Amino acid sequence: MESFSIRVAKDDQVFSASHFITLGDEECERLHGHDYRVTAEVRGNLDASCCVVDFILLRSLLREIIADLDHCVLLPIEYSRICIDSGPKEVEVTCDDLRWVFPQRDCKLLPLANTTTERLAEYIARRLLANLSEQSGARVDSLKVEIEECYGVSAAYRLTP
């Protein structure tokens, strides 16, 4: 069985963000940050131009998503232990007996249960696939997004529509 894929892994596919994750029912990590490096791979059949998808389009769409996350505090809105009160100027976040207040413009509220690297990869993959389908009409067999949060430590998510 034949299979074609393209992969974009450029040095400028990086975003810097802060987050904390909750582990189990008791542990809440300290607020910290990463310089996340993002790679995307698309598998599918060749189109009339003998391409899976246009490299330039894929890279451009990925960069848009990354830019939206860059230099933000990433906050998950779908976890019951984390309460978020987002006002016009501030975002107040509580988790158990911990409390943070951030400028609203510095926060990115994400439809996630936790801001783990695995869930961030899923979030980016889903947005990327939706944007790719909308912009190019490409029929993708699978899309994989891998995020490296520091050298040698990464998580990946593969989406098969």
- pLDDT, residue 3, reads 83
Beta-strand runs (E) in 32-135: 32-44, 72-76, 82-86, 90-95, 98-103, 107-110
pLDDT tens digits for the chain (161 residues)?
678 999 999 999 999 999 999 887 778 999 999 999 999 999 999 988 899 999 999 999 999 999 999 999 999 999 888 999 999 999 999 998 999 999 999 999 999 999 999 999 999 999 999 999 998 878 899 999 999 999 999 999 999 98
- pLDDT, residue 72, reads 98
Calpha distance 49→77 (Å, rounded): 42
What residues have CB less than 8 Å from 2, skipping those under 6 apart? none
Q: What are phi and psi of 63, to 5 degrees?
A: -65, -35
What CATH number is given for 4-159 in this structure?
Answer: 3.30.479.10
Calpha distance 106→90 (Å, rounded): 9
